[in-house]
Structure 1
Amino acid sequence: MKKNADAFYISINISGFILAFAAGWVDTFALHIFSDENISFMTGRVAKLGKKIFSGDADGIKSLLFIILSFMIGACLSAFITKRNGLCAGLYLSGIAIIITSAVILFLGSGAAVFTLVAIPFSMGAQNAATSLTPIGRTTHLTGPITDIGINIAKGDWRAVLFWAIRFSAFIFGTIMSYYVLTVLDSKSALFSLILFVPGIIIILTGLFQKEITAVPLPES
């Protein structure tokens, strides 16, 4: 029984690491093309929305509402699909949305800005909702994981500390890799869209991995 529990713990750590890595990668790409707009977590976006409302910046309000609502819609649709068909379905939704965005950027270039503004947050909302319904937990932002690290250090639960520390390091690793690729590829290059294609494939393969090998369960409803 302990052996099975350890194997499950390892499998969800692997899935969590890979998905947090992908989220860090995608978020860094979004920072680059949206001029300092994160899209994998919403706290900062809501705070900035308040600032834009206060200053009367209509264009800024519209852009931020697009991001927030797209994330929410992605989470809602993913939760519905994941509850019916399992974690893999929610991850497929997220990965496919990212791959489609990559293709749109390839063909439209700068003309894909509006689509990208909607599709990337949608995909991150979809991923975060799907994993949040399982023992993997949230995978697209670090506020919760860092809080949990502090809580579990206080409790002396070093297994839980390791669980969330792995998530933390994965997100950072994803941002580093994305920044590296962004410095190598020119934004006008046809290969630029591949920066998004890679994490899209990673998310889909992670969904396939957990479906065929680890079978991360959903809680009983």
Structure 2
Amino acid sequence: MARRNRIFHPIASARILVGHRRSPGSDYVLATLLAFVAGAANAGGFFALGQYTSHMTGYLSQIPDHLVAGELPVAAIAALAIAAFVTGAGFSSLLINWARIRLGRRQYALPIAIQGLFLLCFAAGGILRGTLGHLFALACLCFIMGMQNATITKISYARVRTTHATGMITDIGIELGRAMCRLLLPASGVRPNLVKLKILLTLIGAFLLGGIVGAAGYSAVGFLFSLPLAFLLLAISLPALPLLKRKRPA
């Protein structure tokens, strides 16, 4: 009962979400929130920049296409997006491991808080005009996406990724195929994992809802719609940061 009461306290809830001791429930809630933010930021990237930034397959495909066509600047922009995404993922991994070694607990609060700060930087991207502002905003958002994907991958032990939906939709198809197999061949022993299917559908729904909210928000106010997304990430992570203490040497 005491733990239940803590869950309904906002600060305690945030500490549970980003804590070192994970549970399927906290992973589920955190992944849903991050999928919502990813969907909103991805849709916002399209409205603000004219490009989706949540996964790198499209950018990777652009490089050979534009190289062959002789469009080197476009290929260079795609390479910049990939480099920013990889740098964000690498920075998140470095930060989590550093915090685990030096601080010992709540290491996931740091990368999520920094993602919120970078979303604030992305909100400032509208101030910069021309090519420089476009490149800054693109690199900033790809960096955030890389950080978020790496963070939730580390938290969930590679069970979930929130910035792209291809893998989740594939898994949904697999579970639906298992359900059809059970229906058509009941003696086969094949059964769908209904719990996994529920989680996947929830994450896809959160990504879609975030996309709708992001598309509406960014189309209405532009880059400034990054502010509520940044505040959401900061609200998740900041309550845990005061608890960070250096580990005493053995």
**TM-score using structure 2 length:** 0.72
Of the structure 1 ranges 13-22 and 143-152, higher mean CA displacement relative to structure 2 is found in: 143-152
Q: Give distance in 2, aligned partners of 1:88 and 1:131.
A: 11
* Contact 1:19/1:206, CA 8 A, preserved across alignment: no
Q: Aligned-pair distance for 1:58?
A: 0.9
Residue 75 of structure 1 corresponds to which residue in structure 2? Answer: 89
Name the amino acid aligned to 1:204.
Answer: L
Structure 1 portions without partners, runs of 5+: 186-191, 213-221
Residue 161 of structure 1 corresponds to which residue in structure 2? Answer: 197
After TM superposition, list the pairs within 5 Å mapping 1:1-221 onto structure 2: 8-35=23-50, 37-85=51-99, 86-105=107-126, 107-110=127-130, 112-135=133-156, 137-153=160-176, 154=178, 155-185=191-221, 192-208=222-238, 211=240
SS in 1 for 2:128: helix
Q: Give distance in 1, aligned partners of 2:140 and 2:219.
A: 23
* Contact 2:125/2:134, CA 8 A, preserved across alignment: no
Q: Give distance in 2, aligned partners of 1:66 and 1:145.
A: 26
Q: Give distance in 1, aligned partners of 2:94 and 2:78.
A: 24
Q: Give distance in 2, aligned partners of 1:13 and 1:207.
A: 16
Name the amino acid aligned to 1:150.
Answer: G
Q: Aligned-pair distance for 1:109?
A: 4.7
Q: Aligned-pair distance for 1:21?
A: 0.7
* Contact 1:78/1:93, CA 8 A, preserved across alignment: no
* Contact 1:152/1:161, CA 8 A, preserved across alignment: yes
Name the amino acid aligned to 2:145.
Answer: M
Q: Give distance in 2, aligned partners of 1:60 and 1:180.
A: 28
* Contact 1:27/1:38, CA 8 A, preserved across alignment: yes
The number of residue pairs the alignment matches comes to 199
Give the greater-gyration-radius structure (CA).
Answer: 2
Of the structure 1 ranges 145-154 and 25-34, higher mean CA displacement relative to structure 2 is found in: 145-154
Q: Give distance in 2, aligned partners of 1:51 and 1:180.
A: 32
Q: Give distance in 1, aligned partners of 2:67 and 2:35.
A: 31
Q: For 1:125-157, what per-residue CA distance to the aligned partner results, in whole angstroms no more than 9, with x for missing partners?
A: 001001101226211110111122223342510
SS in 1 for 2:217: helix
Q: Aligned-pair distance for 1:199?
A: 1.4
Q: Aligned-pair distance for 1:66?
A: 0.8
Structure 2 portions without partners, runs of 5+: 5-21, 100-106, 179-190, 242-250
Percent identical across equivalent pairs?
23
Q: Give distance in 2, aligned partners of 1:118 and 1:159.
A: 36
Q: Aligned-pair distance for 1:176?
A: 0.4
Q: Aligned-pair distance for 1:8?
A: 3.3
Q: For 1:13-46, what per-residue CA distance to the aligned partner results, in whole angstroms no more than 9, with x for missing partners?
A: 22111111101111111112322x2111111211
CA 1:141–1:76 in 2, change beyond 3 Å: closer, same or farther? same
Task: Give 4+ residue runs of structure 1 displaced > 4 Å after superposition.
Answer: none
Q: Aligned-pair distance for 1:193?
A: 2.9
Q: Give distance in 2, aligned partners of 1:152 and 1:205.
A: 35
SS in 1 for 2:231: helix
**TM-score using structure 1 length:** 0.81
* Contact 1:40/1:140, CA 8 A, preserved across alignment: yes
Q: Aligned-pair distance for 1:62?
A: 1.1
Name the amino acid aligned to 1:10.
Answer: G
